[in-house]
Amino acid sequence: MQLLKDRILTDGVVKEGNILKVDSFLNHQMDIDLINEVGKEFKKRFDHCPITKILTIEASGIGIACIAAQYFHVPVVFAKKAQSVNLDGEMYTTKVESFTHKKVYDVILSKKFLGPEDHVLLIDDFLANGCALLGLIDIVKKSGATLEGAGIVIEKGFQSGGQTIRDMGIHLESLAIIDSIADGKLTFRE
């Protein structure tokens, strides 16, 4: 998606250790016009799929999923990190390791909101090692729903998550894939 790649080049910041920060438009401050274009692009790429629900994980994925859901006309369900005392009843649970926060989260989703009748599109902002996405895939599997695919805004192609997900035969669409970050310079996959 050229608009997104251009924006990453303009406003993305490469920090020490070749870490890409896109917090000025994607995951701290959110440019809603850009995210609308992202939502339209996901709709275009999964237009043939009979999606009934969009599943994401808190926190950064929620806004992108909600904007995208407007084009699919389906509800969003978001998996929550750690147990909340207000989340009662039956839950699907899985574990997700966060490299950002250096810890393992319990991730939960109420069984009321996902079942065998559902056709699910996963949406998230980033795909790197794939832990969050693998957690969501595990939840979909446990629910008996059909996984239609996964839409990612930015994939770090030099980490293993994308390859792992594609090797599972899952329809993965990443709107920008970064193949390398070296000396502050990004290279996108064609």
Footprint of its own copies on this chain (CB under 8 A)? Answer: 15, 19, 21, 23-25, 28-33, 35-36, 58-60, 62-67, 69-70, 73-78, 80, 82, 84-88, 100-102, 109-110, 112-113
Answer for the pair 134, 163: CB distance below 8 angstroms, yes or no.
no
Judged by DSSP in three states, 44 sits in: helix
CB atoms within 10 A of CB 128: 21
Q: Residue 70 or 168: which CB sits closer to its own copies?
A: 70
State the amino acid at position 105 in one-letter form: Y
Q: Minimum Å distance from CB 167 to its own copies? A: 27
20 assigned ligand-binding residue? yes
In our burial notation (b when 16+ CB lie closer than 10 A, e otherwise), range 34-52 reads: bbebbbebbbebbeeeebb
21 assigned ligand-binding residue? no
* Alpha-carbon distances of 37 from 46, 68, 78, rounded to whole Å: 14, 9, 21
Q: Minimum Å distance from CB 14 to its own copies? A: 12
27 assigned ligand-binding residue? yes
Q: Residue 35 or 177: which CB sits closer to its own copies?
A: 35
Q: Residue 2 or 86: which CB sits closer to its own copies?
A: 86
Q: Angle, to 10 degrees, between the axis of helix 32-45 and the axis of helix 60-72?
A: 60
129 assigned ligand-binding residue? yes
68 assigned ligand-binding residue? no
Annotated binding site: 20, 27, 128-132, 156
Annotated binding site for xanthine: 20, 27, 156
Annotated binding site for 5-phospho-alpha-D-ribose 1-diphosphate: 128-132
